Amino acid sequence: MIDKELLLRDLQRRGKAIFGRLQAEYPDTKIALHFSNPHELLVATILSAQCTDKRVNQITPELFRKYPTARAFAEADLEELKNDIRSTGFFNNKAIAIKKAMQAIVEKFGGQVPQTMEELLQLEGVGRKTANVVLGNAFGIPGIVVDTHVKRLVNLLGLTSQQDPEKIEQALMQIFPKEQWIELSNLLIAHGRAVCIARRPNCPKCCIYDLCPSGRQ
């Protein structure tokens, strides 16, 4: 029988080494989306679904000038908003989600993006991933963002075999201390984009190669 406590301690030791290596490799890492306040980050995160952060960053400067407040988005003409975000893909659903989320923020939360997971999950188009992005990067509230990069990397690294994002989040919370959660997400995402690329991982260039049971040369 596997000793669960012993296994967890081993994962925590390896997690500490992984975090340290990634932190040294990406010392200035931060979220790639550009924003200046919480509602802008929320909009940008909704737009980033099935779209690159680079593309989102190309359209948000003008978008945020046109709609400078949550109320402005809430009162936007839906068809016009769809056209404004068309290049990010899935613009029909994204425009509806943004408009409804901002209407709820205005009507229920006094125009301010809420700062709890429970309240954020009440907003249209917001799941745990989006909520954790906003909580961590806009408010400094610890949480672990589980996107496709994080899911892929932690499975390859053998940190968890879970496939459900919420279960992955819970598993990582046991391995890494709370004060690392926000940075951990950004580090894993940065590494997933730069080195551990989905279809062509560059294992020889990987700073955590020897800590990865899936690594290959």
Range 209-214 average pLDDT: 92
**Where does the pLDDT of residue 2 fall: very low under 50, low under 70, confident under 90, or very high at 90 and above?**
low
State yes or no: pLDDT of 216 exceeds 70. no
Active site residue 129: yes
184's CB contacts (< 8 A; 6+ apart) are 19, 144, 172, 176
Is the pLDDT confidence value at 163 over 90? Answer: yes
pLDDT of 149 > 60? The answer is: yes
Catalytic residue among 77, 129, 151, 210: 129
pLDDT given for residue 52 in this prediction: 94
Q: Are 34 and 55 in contact (CB under 8 A)?
A: no
**Cβ(10)–Cβ(2) under 8 Å?**
no
Whether 38-139 and 4-30+144-211 are alike in CATH topology: the answer is no
Is the Cα torsion angle 76, 77, 83, 87 positive or negative in sign?
A: positive
Domain boundaries, the chain: 4-30+144-211, 38-139
Find the catalytic residue in 53, 147, 164, 205: 147
Q: How far is CA 57 from CA 33, 85, 171, 190, 195, in A?
A: 6, 11, 32, 16, 22
pLDDT digits (tens, 9 = 90+) for 103-113: 999 999 999 99
pLDDT confidence bin for 215, thresholds 50/70/90 = confident
Kindly tell me if the per-residue pLDDT of 198 is higher than 80.
Answer: yes
How high is the pLDDT of residue 131? 98
CATH number attached to the domain at 4-30+144-211: 1.10.1670.10
**C-alpha dist (Å) from residue 53 to 60, 74, 164, 190, 193:** 10, 23, 23, 12, 11
Q: Indicate whether 217 pLDDT > 50.
A: no
Q: Are 12 and 175 in contact (CB under 8 A)?
A: yes
216 by Cβ neighbours in 10 Å (0-12 / 13-18 / 19+) ranks as exposed
Of the candidates 135, 151, 214, which has an alpha carbon nearest to the alpha carbon of residue 188?
151
Say if residue 7's pLDDT is above 50.
Answer: yes
How confident is the prediction for the chain on average, in pLDDT? 95
Among the residue ranges 2-6, 76-80, 110-114, the one predicted with the least confidence is 2-6
Assess if CATH 1.10.340.30 describes domain 38-139.
yes
**pLDDT reported for residue 4:** 87
Catalytic residue list contains 147:
yes
